[in-house]
Chain A
Amino acid sequence: MFLINCPFCGEREQSEFKAGGEAHIVRPKQPTELSDDEWAEYLFMRKNIKGVQFERWNHVHGCRKWFNMVRDTSNDQIKAVYKMGEKPPVK
């Protein structure tokens, strides 16, 4: 079970958090301008990387804040956590 360093609360058990899928997928500003394919790309397509992945997490049983995490999915090492809107601190 991970020990996650919530950017607002500090280290907490994974059981307090909820994973929210891939990060940095921006909701299109003008969905109506998009073709079916473009909209489907936003809606359904996710990378699901084996290796370093940027993902969203929510401290759902804590401060309720969403934040981003850089995690190596092959060994579950958490490389970094950072607030929404911030640039990822690692590549």
Chain B
Amino acid sequence: MTNNLRFKTSKFIDETYRVSFKFNNKTYFGFKGDTLASALLANGIHLVGRSFKYHRPRGIMTSGSEEPNAIIQLHDNSSRTEPNVRATEVEIYEGLVASSQNCWPSVNFDIGGINNLLSPILPAGFYYKTFMWPASFWEKYEYFIRKSAGLGKSPKVADPDIYEHKYIHCDVLVIGAGISGIMAAKMAAKNGFKTLLVDEKSYLGGSSIYDNSEFSKINNQITSSWLEKEINEISKLENLEIKIRTSVAAFHGYNFLLARENLTDHLPINQRENKVRQRLLKIRAKKVITATGSIERPLIFDNNDRPGILLSSAIKKYIDLYGVACGENNILFTNNDTAYETAMSLIQRGIKINAIIDNREQIDSKISYEVEKNNIEIYKGYTVVDTYGYRRINKISIMKLSKDGQTVVGDKKNLNCDCLGVSGGWTPAVHLFTQSGGKLKFREEDQVFIPNVYPSDQISIGSCNGDFGLEEIIRNTLSSIKKFLDIDNSEYKTVETISGLNQSKRNIWLLPSDKSIGKTKSFVDYQNDATAKDIKLALREGFRSIEHVKRYTTTGMGTDQGKLGNMHALGIISETAGTKMGEHGTTTFRPPYTPLTFGTIVGRNVGEFFDIFRRTPIHDWHVANNAEFENVGQWKRAWYYPKDNENMHQAVQRESKAARDSAGILDASTLGKIDIQGTDASEFLNRVYTNAWSKLAVGKCRYGLMLNEDGMVYDDGVTTRLGENHYIMTTTTGGAANVLGKLEDYLQTEWPELDVYLSSVTDHYATISVCGPNSKKIVSKVIPDLDLSDEKFPHMSFKNAKIDNIKCRVMRISFTGEHSYEINIQANFGKSVWEKCMDAGKDFNITPYGTETMHLLRAEKGFIIVGQDTDATLTPIDLQMDWIVSKKKYDFIGKRSLYRSDTIREDRKQLVGLLTENPEEVLEEGAQIVANIKKSPIEMLGHVTSSYYSPNLKKSIALGVVKGGKNMLGQKLIIPMENKNINVTVADPVFLDKEGERLNAKL
């Protein structure tokens, strides 16, 4: 390639600092200040990727975050690899490694390019139409589609970088540091507003900072020099914080915004150690000023996607900011004056312009006359009808437009070029505005959508508000900011501007061609390969809604969200459908504006910080004693304690046997505990539980069942009356927070007249449950002063006691059916009391057991676990727990629902016990229960909810819910499994000690 593509004129490029980098395994050089795109262009490289569907060669198209084509993978096969990065945004550094995506075996020869030849049979909706039939083939199709399509590769190893989140509160947030953003930030900060100014680029000033043209001046200075002084001034303001490389991703309601601050991506890898890579800023601003500028529109014509075709403003930026020429034989193609600014930049550096093709018949601006003076041929009223060159453009064909712009007339003329700059005018970047809930209006004159109704305290200024001329931008920025901030002093005395540009434009959404539309490939969405033809086909097939056309053609559904072509898609739709622009609205712009890394989203919440763990006060003992843990809500609960080489089954069998034969000990600290006080506490319990509470004596405990208002079981637990007006309620481990919330809800909103106070005390107490025939002996050793006789301390009662002078509450309650005690003690003494119990139980083979054994033991007794045996569709009647539903109470939560026509049905699913024909066969929890497997479709009667092998009964036992199960005692049912049918018999859900002899045994 030639060497004269770099011009030593840009102060943004440090030519004393050479940077080497790799692209597709080849080493290149650029300078500090280059983006990957500018460095590649300086090396004469345009072709950087392949398109999504047709695998067409694609080049760098833009110079910013709107880039649809130059999407690359950074540091492939390393821990820091990142896919789908825009080469136009990557600042190069020593050692950067980049590679093309979506091509195989190489970007220059891509086998998928055959899709381009097949394109006549790959129309819009092709995937839907072809691969959906026959349905059974989808898996085969999918394999090939995924292999040949797809963007970058996701990383295979852990990300070594650090990310974090930060909250920012400010008076004024200014998004975008172009000329209007800089002015707004200065006015805000100087008038006492705490201001934050952010910009996605690595420099301030937007496109004006490299505007060195004689044709746009402010106060008789070149725009860039005037702006430099402004930037210099604001960088010293105390009230103003400036963040570059910070891209606003989302603008939510109530001026809540998310932005990504990029801190190390521009540094060589070895300088990134121990630094935060990216920071997610959560910004709450009192006022937001959006100054996000505008995005140049491409033009839609046949083969408008070849490498070497760029936006004209990008060509200008590569020359003026990076000192890089995109080509040596340039042609500009435009419908407005913007391209003439690019032409002047090319002319100033002596870069050849072969021609300018302008859709307009009349061009009347100072800058266009100046370009003409330089002997550049301008084809007025012409359009490009085709382009040539496979890996790089080498020729274009042009034709004259008809008067109405609908067709082309006359002869075709060919012109050579190696670079084509296109300009279809400008689209205000209203993405963030609409994300915030703002409503747009359509401006006919220049066919743009601009902000209309603001949903919060915010304003859009500059070209994102549809102000395109320099004079207009400055005048409107000054007046709207003064009004918006309610300030008199604008900090700007007089600002006089000179502009050589005229705002005239000849807008044609789809440029005509001498070919029929079916034979053209005029790309509207470059990344997703959606063409004008596809959009027209979608309309012909009956699609009307823009949202449907978008999904059918995939227009605007790439990682660039169609920043370039969405407007053209809308234009083509309304032209084809004969409707007015604006009538269709726009598609929804969704966050993020540019893609975010997962690292930024999760911040520091990785590894052990991903979710909260709650540990009981006895946790360390469980760890030291080889416990396996299970997650119950946020809690880590001891699951079982394997000894030697026991598996879970063996450990649970041993623990279960020991608990019934001698003694078991369980850490029950995770049970929810709610302290209830007040003169109406008893009445309150009467209303929230199904059973009666008024007559419960002080010092007694009672099991309670809580329903939802719809009659379905919500939670259960034992509540103890500690005093006349004082109760302690226990809830399920997972339900604690919800139960408290529900009780507060009723107390505050339905029964505010009740004198009741609720406090969560779950974490205040450690709860140790000792059960089994030897539990009494063990507890009497731990608390010798406590009279454990049945007369003084019967089942379902409570005593205050002391262990080594520490107060504790002891309840004689049981979830296993064994004689058992529950010791509740201040949490920080939990572990030492547990150890005391272990010590006291040594002679009785006291066996710590986990949740799995607890579940087994209670299943033997037919005790339900809310959430395992119930699922919010079961009433207490369904659970055969009629005994706990008070007939006498006038009302309680859910009472009325227990006799709705639906809840009294006889054929509801009801809880039953299940015994397998083969006592060794253990059912799978969740397995379906049926009666008849001969008749198809097989009727599902219910499912297995709990299932264990009981070492105490020496057989398999299970609980399940079965339609009409209550009346099926003794009936045979079938559990159909993948490879066999298991015969079961419906049984009483209480498998062990129905009479409660174990519980009441004299010990």
Contacts and interface: CB of A to CB of B under 8 A. Distances in A.
A26 to B, nearest CB: 8
Nearest to A39: B896
B896 A58 contact: no
Contacts of B253: 1-2, 76
A84 B749 contact: yes
Interface in B750-771: 750, 752
A32 B748 CA distance: 23
Nearest to B453: A75
B900 A1 contact: no
A66 B890 contact: no
Contacts of A43: 709-710, 897
Contacts of B750: 26-27
Given A1-B256, A64-B744, A75-B437, A32 B749 contact: no
B270 to A, nearest CB: 39
Given A75-B455, A84-B749, A2 B254 contact: yes
Contacts of A30: 891
B749 A36 contact: no
A55 B745 CA distance: 14
A68 to B, nearest CB: 9
B794 interface: no
B437 A3 contact: no
B748 A66 contact: yes
Given A1-B253, A2-B254, A66-B744, A36 B891 contact: no
Interface string B900-934: 11000000000000000000000000000000000
Nearest to B890: A32
Contacts of A66: 744-745, 748-749
A75 B891 CA distance: 40
Interface residues of B, number: 23
A58 B740 CA distance: 12
Contacts of A85: 752
A45 interface: no
Contacts of B891: 30-32
Contacts of B455: 75, 77
A60 B896 contact: no
A40 B744 CA distance: 24
Contacts of B252: 1
Contacts of A75: 437, 455
B831 interface: no
Interface in A11-49: 13, 18, 20, 26-27, 30-32, 34, 36, 39-40, 43
Contacts of B890: 32
A11 to B, nearest CB: 10
Interface string A48-67: 00000000101010001110
B266 interface: no
B895 A40 contact: no
Contacts of B437: 75-76
A40 to B, nearest CB: 7
B277 interface: no
Nearest to B740: A64
A3 B284 contact: yes
Nearest to B901: A36
A39 B748 contact: no
Given A3-B254, A3-B284, A36 B745 contact: no
Given A32-B891, A64-B744, A76-B253, A40 B749 contact: no
B192 interface: no
Interface in B830-850: none
A34 B896 contact: yes
Contacts of B748: 65-66, 84
Contacts of A58: 741, 744-745
A75 B252 CA distance: 12
A3 B284 CA distance: 9
Contacts of B897: 39, 43
B90 to A, nearest CB: 31
A32 B899 CA distance: 10
Contacts of A32: 890-891, 895-896
A75 B896 CA distance: 38
A84 B752 CA distance: 9
A83 to B, nearest CB: 10
Contacts of B896: 31-32, 34, 39
Interface in B694-749: 709-710, 741, 744-745, 748-749
Name which of B253, B455, B710, B895 has the most chain A CB atoms within 10 A of its CB. Answer: B253
B895 A31 contact: yes
Interface in B250-287: 252-254, 256, 284
Contacts of A27: 709, 750
Contacts of A64: 744
Interface string B50-64: 000000000000000
A60 B900 contact: no
A26 B901 CA distance: 23
B400 to A, nearest CB: 50
Nearest to B751: A27
B207 to A, nearest CB: 33
A3 B254 CA distance: 6
Given A31-B896, A39-B897, A1 B254 contact: yes
Given A32-B895, A66-B748, A76-B437, A60 B741 contact: yes
Interface in B637-680: none
Contacts of B895: 31-32
Nearest to B456: A77
A52 to B, nearest CB: 16
Contacts of B752: 84-85
A65 B900 CA distance: 32
Interface string B237-255: 0000000000000001110
Contacts of A18: 741
A39 B748 CA distance: 22
Interface string B433-476: 00001000000000000000001000000000000000000000
A3 to B, nearest CB: 5
Contacts of A65: 748
B900 A39 contact: yes
Contacts of A84: 748-749, 752
B684 to A, nearest CB: 14
A14 to B, nearest CB: 8
Nearest to B258: A1
A65 B747 CA distance: 10
B943 to A, nearest CB: 26
A20 B750 CA distance: 14
Contacts of B710: 43
A1 to B, nearest CB: 4
A66 B752 CA distance: 11
Nearest to A64: B744
A3 B204 CA distance: 32
Interface in A74-91: 75-77, 84-85
A75 B453 CA distance: 12
A33 B932 CA distance: 43
Interface in B862-913: 890-891, 895-897, 900-901
Interface of B: 252-254, 256, 284, 437, 455, 709-710, 741, 744-745, 748-750, 752, 890-891, 895-897, 900-901
CB-CB nearest 7 A-B residue pairs: A31-B896, A1-B256, A3-B254, A66-B748, A27-B750, A76-B253, A39-B896
Given A30-B891, A85-B752, 7 more contacts: A1-B252, A1-B253, A3-B284, A39-B896, A43-B709, A43-B710, A84-B749
27 contacts: A1-B252, A1-B253, A18-B741, A27-B709, A30-B891, A31-B895, A31-B896, A32-B895, A34-B896, A36-B900, A39-B896, A39-B897, A40-B900, A43-B709, A43-B710, A43-B897, A56-B749, A58-B741, A58-B744, A58-B745, A60-B741, A64-B744, A66-B748, A75-B455, A76-B437, A84-B752, A85-B752
Interface of A: 1-3, 13, 18, 20, 26-27, 30-32, 34, 36, 39-40, 43, 56, 58, 60, 64-66, 75-77, 84-85
